[in-house]
Structure formats: C-alpha cells, structure tokens
C-alpha cells in the first residue's frame, strides 16, 4: 500500500511538471487567436460608434 501511494505521488508530480513546462510559451495559434479577439473588439466598438450607441 505504501509503495502504491509513493508511485501515485511520483506520477502526479511528473504530470504537474510536464503541464507547467508545456504551458510556458504562447504558440502561434494562441497569438493569432488573441489578435483576432482584439480585431473583433475594435470592430464592435467602431460599429457601436457608427450606430450612435
């Protein structure tokens, strides 16, 4: 039982390390998505200004 707990703890720690390394940098798709969000927000603001809202 003790060995199983030790093994599970080691697996969880390795998973956390792998996840934290993988999330460190923004990829090109994420950057493109953020740019698209910004563009859509700007377009919505301009449309609201045009409509007088």
Mean pLDDT for all residues in the chain: 83
User: Given a cut of 70, is residue 33 above it in pLDDT?
Assistant: yes
User: Given a cut of 80, is residue 25 above it in pLDDT?
Assistant: no
pLDDT band at 38 (very low <50, low <70, confident <90, very high): very high
Half-sphere exposure at residue 27, Cβ-oriented, CA atoms within 13 angstroms: 4
User: Given a cut of 70, is residue 23 above it in pLDDT?
Assistant: no
H-helix or E-strand spanning residue 34: helix 28-51
How confident is the model at residue 1, as a pLDDT?
67
For residue range 10-19, list pLDDT tens digits in order.
Answer: 999 888 887 7
């Amino acid at each position: 039982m003790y060995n199983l707990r030790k093994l599970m703890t080691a697996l969880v720690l390795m998973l956390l390390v792998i996840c934290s390394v993988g999330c460190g940098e923004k990829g090109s798709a994420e950057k493109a998505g953020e740019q698209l969000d910004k563009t859509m927000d700007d377009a919505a603001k301009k449309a609201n200004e045009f409509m007088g809202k």
